[in-house]
Structure 1
Amino acid sequence: MSTPPIRAVLTDIEGTTSSISFVKDVLFPYARARLAGFVTEHAADPAVAGALAEARTLAGQPELDQEGTIALLTGWIDEDRKAKPLKFLQGMIWEDGYRQGVLKGDIYPDAVAGLTRWKDSGLSLFVYSSGSVLAQKLIFGFTHSGDLTPLFSGYFDTAIGSKLEASSYTAIASEIGLAPEEILFLSDNTRELDAAREAGMKTIGLDRGEVVIPPDTTHAIVKTFDAIDAKTGTVR
Protein backbone atom coordinates (compact mmCIF):
# COMPACT_ATOMS: atom_id res chain seq x y z
CA MET A 1 0.00 0.00 0.00
CA SER A 2 1.43 3.41 -0.96
CA THR A 3 2.01 6.07 1.68
CA PRO A 4 -0.62 8.84 1.53
CA PRO A 5 0.70 12.30 0.59
CA ILE A 6 1.14 14.95 3.24
CA ARG A 7 -1.78 17.37 3.26
CA ALA A 8 -1.01 19.37 6.42
CA VAL A 9 1.96 20.50 8.48
CA LEU A 10 1.67 20.78 12.28
CA THR A 11 4.49 22.77 13.83
CA ASP A 12 5.82 23.48 17.28
CA ILE A 13 7.04 27.03 17.99
CA GLU A 14 9.77 27.20 20.64
CA GLY A 15 13.00 25.79 19.22
CA THR A 16 11.32 25.09 15.88
CA THR A 17 9.96 28.24 14.24
CA SER A 18 11.37 30.52 16.94
CA SER A 19 14.37 30.53 19.23
CA ILE A 20 14.02 29.21 22.74
CA SER A 21 15.98 32.25 23.92
CA PHE A 22 13.25 34.60 22.64
CA VAL A 23 10.67 32.86 24.79
CA LYS A 24 12.92 32.38 27.84
CA ASP A 25 14.90 35.63 27.73
CA VAL A 26 12.37 38.07 26.27
CA LEU A 27 8.75 36.96 26.68
CA PHE A 28 8.92 35.39 30.15
CA PRO A 29 10.89 38.26 31.76
CA TYR A 30 8.58 40.79 30.09
CA ALA A 31 5.50 39.16 31.63
CA ARG A 32 7.18 38.65 35.00
CA ALA A 33 8.18 42.30 35.28
CA ARG A 34 4.65 43.47 34.50
CA LEU A 35 2.54 40.83 36.24
CA ALA A 36 1.97 42.66 39.53
CA GLY A 37 1.08 45.96 37.86
CA PHE A 38 -1.18 44.27 35.33
CA VAL A 39 -3.09 42.31 37.99
CA THR A 40 -3.43 45.39 40.20
CA GLU A 41 -4.76 47.46 37.31
CA HIS A 42 -7.11 44.83 35.88
CA ALA A 43 -8.18 42.83 38.97
CA ALA A 44 -11.81 43.90 38.50
CA ASP A 45 -11.86 42.59 34.92
CA PRO A 46 -14.00 39.41 35.03
CA ALA A 47 -11.54 37.47 32.87
CA VAL A 48 -8.58 38.45 35.04
CA ALA A 49 -10.51 37.82 38.26
CA GLY A 50 -11.48 34.41 36.93
CA ALA A 51 -7.86 33.54 36.14
CA LEU A 52 -6.75 34.60 39.63
CA ALA A 53 -9.47 32.48 41.22
CA GLU A 54 -8.50 29.53 39.03
CA ALA A 55 -4.85 29.91 40.08
CA ARG A 56 -5.80 29.85 43.77
CA THR A 57 -7.95 26.77 43.24
CA LEU A 58 -5.21 25.03 41.28
CA ALA A 59 -2.74 25.74 44.08
CA GLY A 60 -5.19 24.58 46.75
CA GLN A 61 -4.95 27.99 48.42
CA PRO A 62 -8.38 29.62 48.00
CA GLU A 63 -7.66 31.96 50.91
CA LEU A 64 -4.85 33.85 49.13
CA ASP A 65 -5.30 37.60 48.80
CA GLN A 66 -4.29 39.51 45.67
CA GLU A 67 -0.69 40.01 46.81
CA GLY A 68 -0.36 36.34 47.69
CA THR A 69 -1.84 35.32 44.33
CA ILE A 70 0.66 37.53 42.50
CA ALA A 71 3.48 35.89 44.45
CA LEU A 72 2.08 32.46 43.56
CA LEU A 73 1.96 33.30 39.85
CA THR A 74 5.44 34.81 39.93
CA GLY A 75 6.73 31.61 41.47
CA TRP A 76 5.09 29.62 38.70
CA ILE A 77 6.86 31.77 36.10
CA ASP A 78 10.19 31.06 37.81
CA GLU A 79 9.38 27.34 37.81
CA ASP A 80 8.31 27.48 34.13
CA ARG A 81 5.04 25.89 35.19
CA LYS A 82 2.55 25.35 32.36
CA ALA A 83 -0.52 26.42 34.33
CA LYS A 84 -3.59 27.51 32.37
CA PRO A 85 -4.41 30.67 34.40
CA LEU A 86 -0.77 31.80 34.25
CA LYS A 87 -0.61 31.27 30.50
CA PHE A 88 -3.84 33.24 30.13
CA LEU A 89 -2.48 36.23 32.07
CA GLN A 90 0.88 36.08 30.31
CA GLY A 91 -0.97 36.17 26.99
CA MET A 92 -2.85 39.31 27.99
CA ILE A 93 0.37 41.02 29.11
CA TRP A 94 2.17 40.02 25.91
CA GLU A 95 -0.77 41.25 23.84
CA ASP A 96 -0.30 44.73 25.31
CA GLY A 97 3.41 44.57 24.47
CA TYR A 98 2.87 43.39 20.91
CA ARG A 99 0.16 45.96 20.19
CA GLN A 100 2.35 48.75 21.58
CA GLY A 101 5.17 47.65 19.29
CA VAL A 102 7.47 46.80 22.21
CA LEU A 103 7.45 43.08 21.34
CA LYS A 104 8.00 41.53 17.91
CA GLY A 105 7.54 37.83 17.23
CA ASP A 106 10.95 36.30 16.54
CA ILE A 107 10.41 33.82 13.70
CA TYR A 108 13.40 32.27 11.92
CA PRO A 109 13.65 33.61 8.33
CA ASP A 110 13.84 30.05 6.97
CA ALA A 111 10.62 29.24 8.85
CA VAL A 112 8.86 32.27 7.35
CA ALA A 113 10.00 31.26 3.85
CA GLY A 114 9.19 27.58 4.35
CA LEU A 115 5.75 28.13 5.82
CA THR A 116 4.88 30.60 3.04
CA ARG A 117 6.12 28.20 0.37
CA TRP A 118 4.16 25.30 1.83
CA LYS A 119 0.98 27.34 2.13
CA ASP A 120 1.33 28.46 -1.48
CA SER A 121 1.78 24.82 -2.54
CA GLY A 122 -1.63 23.91 -1.12
CA LEU A 123 -0.67 22.48 2.27
CA SER A 124 -2.70 23.42 5.35
CA LEU A 125 -0.65 24.71 8.28
CA PHE A 126 -1.37 24.31 11.98
CA VAL A 127 0.41 25.15 15.24
CA TYR A 128 0.70 23.00 18.36
CA SER A 129 2.50 24.63 21.28
CA SER A 130 2.47 24.52 25.06
CA GLY A 131 1.84 28.27 24.95
CA SER A 132 -1.77 29.39 24.83
CA VAL A 133 -3.56 29.84 21.52
CA LEU A 134 -3.55 33.60 22.21
CA ALA A 135 0.24 33.56 22.67
CA GLN A 136 0.61 31.58 19.45
CA LYS A 137 -1.47 34.05 17.46
CA LEU A 138 0.49 36.97 18.91
CA ILE A 139 3.95 35.61 18.11
CA PHE A 140 2.91 34.98 14.50
CA GLY A 141 0.71 38.06 14.23
CA PHE A 142 3.31 40.67 15.18
CA THR A 143 6.59 39.59 13.58
CA HIS A 144 9.47 41.39 11.89
CA SER A 145 8.05 39.88 8.67
CA GLY A 146 4.54 41.22 9.31
CA ASP A 147 1.34 39.33 10.15
CA LEU A 148 1.84 35.63 9.44
CA THR A 149 -1.46 34.42 10.91
CA PRO A 150 -3.13 34.15 7.46
CA LEU A 151 -0.77 31.23 6.80
CA PHE A 152 -2.42 29.09 9.46
CA SER A 153 -5.68 27.18 9.46
CA GLY A 154 -5.75 26.47 13.19
CA TYR A 155 -3.96 26.48 16.52
CA PHE A 156 -3.73 23.91 19.32
CA ASP A 157 -2.42 24.20 22.87
CA THR A 158 -2.32 21.76 25.76
CA ALA A 159 -6.08 22.06 26.23
CA ILE A 160 -6.20 19.23 23.70
CA GLY A 161 -3.70 17.19 25.72
CA SER A 162 -0.04 16.80 26.62
CA LYS A 163 2.47 17.13 23.80
CA LEU A 164 4.10 13.94 25.07
CA GLU A 165 0.96 11.79 24.62
CA ALA A 166 0.05 10.11 21.33
CA SER A 167 -3.64 10.65 22.08
CA SER A 168 -3.15 14.41 21.72
CA TYR A 169 -1.93 14.02 18.15
CA THR A 170 -4.77 11.63 17.37
CA ALA A 171 -7.20 14.26 18.66
CA ILE A 172 -5.56 16.97 16.58
CA ALA A 173 -5.78 14.85 13.43
CA SER A 174 -9.47 14.32 14.16
CA GLU A 175 -10.01 18.08 14.64
CA ILE A 176 -8.18 18.81 11.39
CA GLY A 177 -10.18 16.15 9.60
CA LEU A 178 -7.23 14.21 8.19
CA ALA A 179 -5.66 10.83 8.83
CA PRO A 180 -2.55 11.15 11.02
CA GLU A 181 -0.50 9.72 8.13
CA GLU A 182 -1.40 12.83 6.10
CA ILE A 183 0.13 15.19 8.66
CA LEU A 184 3.80 16.14 9.11
CA PHE A 185 4.77 17.21 12.64
CA LEU A 186 7.82 19.40 13.28
CA SER A 187 9.47 19.88 16.69
CA ASP A 188 12.82 20.21 18.42
CA ASN A 189 11.68 17.79 21.13
CA THR A 190 12.23 14.12 20.26
CA ARG A 191 9.75 12.97 22.92
CA GLU A 192 7.06 15.00 21.17
CA LEU A 193 8.16 13.52 17.85
CA ASP A 194 7.89 10.04 19.39
CA ALA A 195 4.31 10.72 20.50
CA ALA A 196 3.30 12.13 17.12
CA ARG A 197 4.81 9.17 15.28
CA GLU A 198 3.06 6.75 17.63
CA ALA A 199 -0.20 8.43 16.58
CA GLY A 200 0.72 7.82 12.94
CA MET A 201 2.07 11.20 11.87
CA LYS A 202 5.19 11.77 9.82
CA THR A 203 7.87 13.54 11.85
CA ILE A 204 10.96 15.66 11.29
CA GLY A 205 13.04 17.21 14.06
CA LEU A 206 14.64 20.65 14.07
CA ASP A 207 18.09 21.15 15.57
CA ARG A 208 18.51 24.88 16.13
CA GLY A 209 21.54 24.36 18.38
CA GLU A 210 19.62 25.15 21.57
CA VAL A 211 18.79 21.63 22.77
CA VAL A 212 20.65 18.35 22.80
CA ILE A 213 19.21 15.96 20.22
CA PRO A 214 19.73 12.33 21.39
CA PRO A 215 22.31 10.74 19.08
CA ASP A 216 20.23 7.56 18.87
CA THR A 217 17.06 9.29 17.66
CA THR A 218 15.32 7.57 14.77
CA HIS A 219 13.68 10.78 13.56
CA ALA A 220 15.11 12.70 10.61
CA ILE A 221 16.79 15.84 11.96
CA VAL A 222 17.45 19.04 9.99
CA LYS A 223 18.92 22.45 10.77
CA THR A 224 16.40 24.58 8.85
CA PHE A 225 13.05 24.41 7.09
CA ASP A 226 14.92 24.66 3.79
CA ALA A 227 15.92 21.01 4.14
CA ILE A 228 12.32 19.77 4.44
CA ASP A 229 10.20 18.46 1.57
CA ALA A 230 6.85 18.98 3.27
CA LYS A 231 4.83 17.42 0.47
CA THR A 232 6.44 14.03 1.09
CA GLY A 233 7.38 14.49 4.74
CA THR A 234 11.01 13.75 3.95
CA VAL A 235 14.38 15.47 4.08
CA ARG A 236 15.79 16.87 0.83
Structure 2
Amino acid sequence: MNYRALITDIEGTTSRIAFVTEVLFPYAAKHLPDFIRQRCEQAEVALELKAVRQKMQQPNADTEAVIAQLQAWIAADEKITPLKALQGMVWRLGYQQGHFTGHLYPDAAEQLKAWHAQGLQLFIYSSGSVEAQQLLFRYSDFGDLTPLFSGYFDTRVGGKKEISSYAAILQHLQLPPGQVLFLSDVVAELDAARKLGIATCQLIREGQPAGSHPTAEDFYQVNL
Protein backbone atom coordinates (compact mmCIF):
# COMPACT_ATOMS: atom_id res chain seq x y z
CA MET A 1 0.00 0.00 0.00
CA ASN A 2 1.44 3.35 -1.11
CA TYR A 3 -0.83 5.51 1.04
CA ARG A 4 -1.08 6.07 4.77
CA ALA A 5 -4.28 8.11 4.71
CA LEU A 6 -7.39 8.23 2.56
CA ILE A 7 -9.80 11.18 2.48
CA THR A 8 -13.22 10.64 0.97
CA ASP A 9 -16.07 12.89 -0.02
CA ILE A 10 -19.60 11.70 0.83
CA GLU A 11 -22.20 12.92 -1.67
CA GLY A 12 -21.71 11.11 -4.98
CA THR A 13 -18.75 9.17 -3.58
CA THR A 14 -19.68 7.03 -0.57
CA SER A 15 -23.37 7.88 -0.84
CA ARG A 16 -26.02 8.50 -3.47
CA ILE A 17 -26.48 12.18 -4.33
CA ALA A 18 -30.24 11.65 -4.23
CA PHE A 19 -30.08 10.72 -0.53
CA VAL A 20 -28.95 14.24 0.24
CA THR A 21 -31.14 16.06 -2.28
CA GLU A 22 -34.30 13.96 -1.90
CA VAL A 23 -34.17 12.91 1.78
CA LEU A 24 -31.91 15.07 3.95
CA PHE A 25 -32.43 18.52 2.40
CA PRO A 26 -36.26 18.30 2.24
CA TYR A 27 -36.36 16.95 5.79
CA ALA A 28 -34.30 19.89 7.07
CA ALA A 29 -36.30 22.41 5.07
CA LYS A 30 -39.54 21.07 6.53
CA HIS A 31 -38.45 20.74 10.15
CA LEU A 32 -35.89 23.54 10.57
CA PRO A 33 -38.38 26.40 11.22
CA ASP A 34 -40.13 24.71 14.15
CA PHE A 35 -36.82 23.33 15.42
CA ILE A 36 -35.44 26.88 15.67
CA ARG A 37 -38.63 28.34 17.16
CA GLN A 38 -38.65 25.68 19.88
CA ARG A 39 -34.92 25.66 20.63
CA CYS A 40 -33.62 29.15 19.83
CA GLU A 41 -32.64 29.68 23.48
CA GLN A 42 -30.53 26.51 23.68
CA ALA A 43 -26.82 27.29 23.70
CA GLU A 44 -25.74 25.29 20.64
CA VAL A 45 -28.65 26.62 18.57
CA ALA A 46 -28.25 30.22 19.77
CA LEU A 47 -24.57 30.15 18.82
CA GLU A 48 -25.36 29.23 15.22
CA LEU A 49 -28.24 31.72 15.01
CA LYS A 50 -25.82 34.45 16.07
CA ALA A 51 -23.49 33.38 13.26
CA VAL A 52 -26.40 33.53 10.79
CA ARG A 53 -27.22 37.10 11.90
CA GLN A 54 -23.57 38.06 11.44
CA LYS A 55 -23.62 36.57 7.93
CA MET A 56 -26.82 38.53 7.22
CA GLN A 57 -25.16 41.67 8.66
CA GLN A 58 -28.30 42.07 10.75
CA PRO A 59 -27.29 41.42 14.38
CA ASN A 60 -30.79 42.27 15.64
CA ALA A 61 -32.76 40.20 13.12
CA ASP A 62 -35.67 38.41 14.74
CA THR A 63 -36.15 34.65 14.67
CA GLU A 64 -38.54 34.67 11.71
CA ALA A 65 -36.13 36.74 9.62
CA VAL A 66 -33.34 34.30 10.43
CA ILE A 67 -35.58 31.36 9.46
CA ALA A 68 -36.43 33.05 6.15
CA GLN A 69 -32.73 33.57 5.42
CA LEU A 70 -31.93 29.93 6.22
CA GLN A 71 -34.73 28.72 3.95
CA ALA A 72 -33.40 30.93 1.15
CA TRP A 73 -29.92 29.46 1.61
CA ILE A 74 -31.35 25.94 1.54
CA ALA A 75 -33.24 26.68 -1.68
CA ALA A 76 -30.04 28.04 -3.25
CA ASP A 77 -27.94 25.10 -1.95
CA GLU A 78 -25.54 27.52 -0.25
CA LYS A 79 -22.58 26.06 1.65
CA ILE A 80 -22.97 28.32 4.69
CA THR A 81 -21.32 26.93 7.84
CA PRO A 82 -24.00 27.87 10.44
CA LEU A 83 -26.73 26.58 8.09
CA LYS A 84 -24.90 23.26 7.82
CA ALA A 85 -24.58 23.10 11.59
CA LEU A 86 -28.30 23.73 12.12
CA GLN A 87 -29.23 21.23 9.43
CA GLY A 88 -27.05 18.70 11.25
CA MET A 89 -28.98 19.28 14.48
CA VAL A 90 -32.29 18.65 12.69
CA TRP A 91 -30.94 15.53 11.01
CA ARG A 92 -29.71 14.30 14.40
CA LEU A 93 -33.31 14.14 15.58
CA GLY A 94 -34.38 12.47 12.35
CA TYR A 95 -31.76 9.75 12.65
CA GLN A 96 -32.44 9.22 16.35
CA GLN A 97 -36.18 8.93 15.72
CA GLY A 98 -35.63 6.42 12.91
CA HIS A 99 -37.06 8.60 10.16
CA PHE A 100 -34.21 7.53 7.85
CA THR A 101 -30.80 5.84 7.84
CA GLY A 102 -27.61 7.09 6.24
CA HIS A 103 -27.26 5.81 2.68
CA LEU A 104 -23.99 4.15 1.73
CA TYR A 105 -23.12 2.23 -1.38
CA PRO A 106 -22.41 -1.41 -0.37
CA ASP A 107 -18.96 -1.28 -2.02
CA ALA A 108 -18.09 1.83 0.02
CA ALA A 109 -19.08 0.22 3.31
CA GLU A 110 -17.18 -2.98 2.55
CA GLN A 111 -14.02 -1.31 1.28
CA LEU A 112 -13.88 1.23 4.10
CA LYS A 113 -13.92 -1.68 6.54
CA ALA A 114 -11.22 -3.49 4.56
CA TRP A 115 -8.97 -0.44 4.27
CA HIS A 116 -9.31 0.27 7.98
CA ALA A 117 -8.38 -3.35 8.75
CA GLN A 118 -5.28 -2.90 6.57
CA GLY A 119 -4.16 0.03 8.71
CA LEU A 120 -5.12 2.88 6.38
CA GLN A 121 -6.19 6.04 8.22
CA LEU A 122 -9.61 7.12 6.95
CA PHE A 123 -10.94 10.70 6.92
CA ILE A 124 -14.07 12.40 5.65
CA TYR A 125 -14.12 15.82 3.93
CA SER A 126 -17.58 17.07 3.04
CA SER A 127 -19.38 20.40 2.82
CA GLY A 128 -21.89 18.99 5.31
CA SER A 129 -21.03 19.72 8.94
CA VAL A 130 -18.82 17.32 10.88
CA GLU A 131 -21.85 16.33 12.96
CA ALA A 132 -23.88 15.59 9.82
CA GLN A 133 -21.03 13.41 8.55
CA GLN A 134 -20.80 11.53 11.83
CA LEU A 135 -24.56 11.00 11.94
CA LEU A 136 -24.65 9.52 8.45
CA PHE A 137 -22.00 6.95 9.32
CA ARG A 138 -23.29 6.30 12.86
CA TYR A 139 -26.81 5.57 11.60
CA SER A 140 -25.78 4.11 8.24
CA ASP A 141 -27.54 1.35 6.31
CA PHE A 142 -24.68 -0.89 7.52
CA GLY A 143 -24.73 0.09 11.18
CA ASP A 144 -22.32 2.32 13.10
CA LEU A 145 -19.19 2.81 10.98
CA THR A 146 -17.78 5.79 12.91
CA PRO A 147 -15.04 3.63 14.54
CA LEU A 148 -13.46 3.33 11.08
CA PHE A 149 -12.60 7.03 10.85
CA SER A 150 -9.68 8.96 12.27
CA GLY A 151 -11.21 12.39 11.64
CA TYR A 152 -13.68 14.61 9.80
CA PHE A 153 -13.34 17.91 7.94
CA ASP A 154 -16.03 20.36 6.82
CA THR A 155 -16.24 23.95 5.53
CA ARG A 156 -14.51 25.19 8.67
CA VAL A 157 -11.22 24.29 6.94
CA GLY A 158 -12.44 26.06 3.79
CA GLY A 159 -14.30 25.34 0.58
CA LYS A 160 -13.71 22.06 -1.19
CA LYS A 161 -12.49 23.72 -4.39
CA GLU A 162 -9.88 25.84 -2.57
CA ILE A 163 -6.25 24.74 -2.46
CA SER A 164 -5.82 26.25 1.02
CA SER A 165 -8.37 23.79 2.41
CA TYR A 166 -6.24 20.82 1.43
CA ALA A 167 -3.14 22.53 2.79
CA ALA A 168 -4.93 22.85 6.14
CA ILE A 169 -5.91 19.18 6.05
CA LEU A 170 -2.34 18.11 5.26
CA GLN A 171 -1.14 20.22 8.19
CA HIS A 172 -3.57 18.35 10.42
CA LEU A 173 -2.58 14.92 9.07
CA GLN A 174 1.14 15.64 9.34
CA LEU A 175 1.77 13.48 6.28
CA PRO A 176 3.50 14.17 2.96
CA PRO A 177 0.91 14.77 0.21
CA GLY A 178 2.11 11.78 -1.77
CA GLN A 179 1.00 9.48 1.07
CA VAL A 180 -2.58 10.78 0.96
CA LEU A 181 -5.31 9.73 -1.49
CA PHE A 182 -8.44 11.85 -2.00
CA LEU A 183 -11.66 10.40 -3.43
CA SER A 184 -14.41 12.62 -4.86
CA ASP A 185 -16.85 12.75 -7.75
CA VAL A 186 -16.15 16.47 -8.38
CA VAL A 187 -13.28 17.32 -10.73
CA ALA A 188 -12.71 20.83 -9.32
CA GLU A 189 -12.19 19.41 -5.82
CA LEU A 190 -9.72 16.84 -7.12
CA ASP A 191 -7.91 19.53 -9.10
CA ALA A 192 -7.39 21.62 -5.95
CA ALA A 193 -6.03 18.64 -4.00
CA ARG A 194 -3.72 17.53 -6.80
CA LYS A 195 -2.08 20.96 -7.00
CA LEU A 196 -0.59 20.19 -3.57
CA GLY A 197 0.63 16.76 -4.65
CA ILE A 198 -2.21 14.77 -3.07
CA ALA A 199 -3.08 11.64 -5.05
CA THR A 200 -6.60 11.65 -6.47
CA CYS A 201 -9.29 9.36 -7.81
CA GLN A 202 -12.62 10.40 -9.32
CA LEU A 203 -15.67 8.27 -8.56
CA ILE A 204 -17.94 7.94 -11.60
CA ARG A 205 -21.11 6.79 -9.88
CA GLU A 206 -23.81 8.22 -12.12
CA GLY A 207 -22.25 8.67 -15.51
CA GLN A 208 -20.86 12.15 -14.96
CA PRO A 209 -18.00 13.26 -17.26
CA ALA A 210 -14.50 12.30 -16.19
CA GLY A 211 -11.69 14.78 -15.74
CA SER A 212 -7.97 14.12 -15.99
CA HIS A 213 -7.79 12.08 -12.78
CA PRO A 214 -7.72 8.30 -12.34
CA THR A 215 -11.31 7.07 -12.22
CA ALA A 216 -13.26 4.30 -10.52
CA GLU A 217 -16.89 3.26 -10.89
CA ASP A 218 -16.97 2.00 -7.30
CA PHE A 219 -14.66 1.58 -4.31
CA TYR A 220 -13.59 -1.88 -5.47
CA GLN A 221 -11.87 -0.21 -8.45
CA VAL A 222 -9.92 2.31 -6.35
CA ASN A 223 -6.25 1.43 -6.81
CA LEU A 224 -4.19 1.69 -3.63
Smaller-chain TM-score bracket: over 0.9
Aligned residue for 2:106?
109
Shift of 1:218: 1.5
- Paired residue for 1:66, among 63, 84, 97? 63
Would you say 1:136 and 2:121 are equivalent positions? no
3-state SS in 2 of match to 1:102: coil
The answer for the alignment partner of 1:213 in structure 2 is 209
Structure 2 residue 219 is matched with structure 1 residue 225? yes
192-201 or 48-57: bigger deviation? 48-57
Give secondary structure in 1 for the equivalent of 2:14.
coil
Q: Distance in 2 between matches of 1:199 and 1:35?
A: 38
Q: Which stretch of structure 1 is more off in the superposition, 164-173 or 71-80?
A: 164-173
C-alpha separation in 2, matches of 1:100 and 1:26: 15
Question: Deviation at 1:5?
Answer: 2.0
> Any idea what SS the aligned residue of 2:59 has?
coil
Structure 2 equivalent of residue 233 of structure 1: none
2:73 aligned residue: 76
* Cross-structure match for 2:116: 119
- What letter corresponds to residue 145 of structure 2 in structure 1? L
In the alignment, the residues of structure 1 paired with residue 105 and residue 32 of structure 2 have an alpha-carbon distance, to the nearest angstrom, of: 28
Deviation at 1:229, TM superposition (A): 2.4
What amino acid is the match of 1:87?
A: K
Runs of 5+ consecutive residues of structure 2 not aligned to the other structure: none
What does residue 24 of structure 1 align with?
A: 21
Residue 56 of structure 1 deviates from its aligned partner by 1.5
Matched, 1:164 2:161: yes
- Looking at structure 2, the residues matched to 53 and 173 of structure 1 have their Cα atoms a distance apart, in angstroms, of 31
Aligned partner of 1:188 in structure 2 is 185
Q: What do residues 184-224 of structure 1 show as CA deviations (whole Å, max 9, x unaligned)?
A: 000000111111111111100001116x324xx21011110
Alpha-carbon shift at residue 122 of structure 1 (Å): 1.1
Query: Which AA in structure 2 matches 1:225?
Result: F
1:178 pairs with one of 155, 172, 175: 175
Instruction: Tell me what 1:96 maps to.
Output: 93
Name the SS for the 1:96 alignment partner: helix
Q: Percent identity?
A: 49
What is the aligned residue count?
A: 224
Any idea what the Cα deviations from partners look like across 1:138-168, whole Å, max 9, x if unmatched?
A: 0111011000000100001111122112221
Partner letter of residue 147 of structure 1?
D
Letter in 1 for 2:220: D
* Cα distance between partner residues in 2 of 1:61 and 1:26: 31
TM-score, normalising length from structure 2?
0.96
TM-score (norm 1): 0.92
- Secondary structure of 1:204's aligned partner: strand
Report how far residue 126 of structure 1 moved: 0.5
Residue aligning to 2:37: 40
Q: Given residue 154 of structure 1, which amino acid in structure 2 is its aligned partner?
A: G
> 1:62 Cα deviation (Å)?
2.6
> 8 Å contact 1:140–1:149 — kept in the other structure?
yes
Could you say what the CA RMSD is over the residues aligned between the two structures, in angstroms? 1.3
Assess if the C-alpha contact under 8 Å between 1:162 and 1:168 holds in 2: yes
